[in-house]
Amino acid sequence: MTRTSSITRGLAAAVLVGACTVPAGAQDQSEFQPWQIPGWTFTPGLTVSTVFDNNVALAAEFPTRPETAGDKLFLVEPFGQLEYSGPRASFESGYRGYLRRYVDLDQLNGFDQHGYGAFRYRASRRLTLFMRDTFMKVPTTDELELNGVPFTRTGSRNNVLSGGVESRLSRYTDLNVRYEMNWVDFDRSATGVLLRSGYIHGVRTELARRLGDRSAFGGEYAIRLATLDAGTRQITFQDLGATYRYDTGPRTTFDAAAGVSHLIDRLVNDTRTGPYIRAGLTHRAQRATLGASYAREFVPTFGFGGSNQSQAIRGYVRMPLDRNRLYVQQSVAWRRSDPLISTELALDSCWLHSTLGYALSRWLRAEGFYAYTRQDSRVPGGLINRHRVGAQLVIAQPVRLR
């Protein structure tokens, strides 16, 4: 899971009150885990952590200087989560602060923040509306897990807003539409770092026809508009392809998509066309959810040339806290970013986040966690390795509101 401010982002993408309160950045995107108790629920809490970070500056390794500067730090993380679960609507919101204090390098002390809100409403048997917004303020770029962004100790802010509709047009036909806006802003105090602030708007539409109780086949179209460097760089991405979903069993789902991508970069007057492919497998057991995915496609990036061809592999294990006294949260991701401009650097990036926890009581949990990030630009002096390991106590108890 789920980002040197904290170790405790996902998949799923990846826990304010839940699954893995590894400090910020070591979590996957699913950072907040809902309790799903009927009615209104508020969960206040506090996490106290001690962490060792072997590369606080995200410095590159050199043959003549393989060692990197490390330090111990203490984290205090106040958090709160408000939820509502009803027959037709659900609402979730949460906030977590990260107060970090280093033992030796006190100039790196700071305060980071994560927050989110989500709403889902079933308007009818055929129509469901949804919306979600997440915000992160972190001290290093490796905690964001963004495509094509070099790892560096640069303060970053990221907000992702998404929403859409899931509709059933007929007995066998479904139409899903999703909009997403991804905004990133980097501190400008860092010099010599190729980072590009900006935002990306995107809409994806899928029309699927169910072939039976277990499978569906359809088509999709997506368009993304990337605006970087205060509007001086604009790139358009379009995807057109086919989708397929198959339920191999009552708890296991396989989905895939393949088609053609088209890219237009107006600044350099460049146009590219190529294939894309995505595939994923999800298994939902009673006490855990496991998933894996692969994607190869043209994607926008907030680093280097503004666009690249990306390959990504992800896997995760999530165990709900309300069903397991002893639990494990695990996520791993690998991404290769090959820039479309030959003079730019290619990046191989890896993220691994792992938490082992035990519920000492209904309101107290003890957890140990490990986070590893690695990036190789495939040039001399371009290898960065970072290990973070720690332990923490989590105090949290959901309160039913009447």
pLDDT tens, 45-86?
999 999 999 999 888 887 666 677 899 999 999 999 999 999
Strand segments (E) across 170-269: 173-186, 198-210, 215-228, 233-247, 252-265
CB 108 within 8 A of CB 94: no
Is 24 part of any domain? no
pLDDT at site 305: 63
Total count of domains within the chain: 1
The rounded Cα 74 to chain-centroid distance in angstroms is 24
Residues in Cβ contact with 371 at an 8 Å cutoff, skipping those fewer than 6 apart: 7, 22, 25, 26, 351, 352, 353, 354, 386, 387, 388, 389
Ranges 156-160, 179-183, 232-236, 366-370: which has the least confidence: 232-236
Say if pTM beats, i.e. exceeds, 0.75: yes
Of 72, 147, 129, 58, the closest CA to residue 349 belongs to 147
pLDDT at site 168: 96
CATH code at 144?
2.40.160
Is 88 part of any domain? yes
Which of 264-268, 316-320, 324-328, 386-390 shows the highest mean pLDDT? 386-390
Is 23 part of any domain? no
Range of the domain at 163: 39-401
The 10s digit of each residue's pLDDT in 208-221 is: 999 988 999 999 99
For residues 305 and 56, which has the higher predicted lDDT (pLDDT)? Answer: 56
Of 326, 318, 393, the closest CA to residue 359 belongs to 326
Is 25 part of any domain? no
pLDDT band of 2, cuts 50, 70, 90: very low
pLDDT band of 167, cuts 50, 70, 90: very high
Q: What average pLDDT score do residues 242-249 get? A: 95
CB 148 within 8 A of CB 163: no
Is 21 part of any domain? no
Is 19 part of any domain? no
CB 31 within 8 A of CB 4: no
CB 362 within 8 A of CB 35: no
pLDDT band of 28, cuts 50, 70, 90: very low
Phi, psi of 144, deg, nearest 5: -90, -25
pLDDT at site 286: 87
Enclosing H/E stretch for 168: strand 156-168
Name the DSSP class of 141: G
Per-residue pLDDT at 191 exceeds 60 = no
Q: What average pLDDT score do residues 112-133 get? A: 96
- Dist. CA 76–CA 129, nearest whole Å: 36
Per-residue pLDDT at 308 exceeds 70 = yes
The rounded Cα 22 to chain-centroid distance in angstroms is 14
pLDDT at site 230: 78
Per-residue pLDDT at 151 exceeds 50 = yes
Is 32 part of any domain? no
Q: How far is CA 215 from CA 139, 294, 332, in A?
A: 44, 20, 28
Is 147 part of any domain? yes
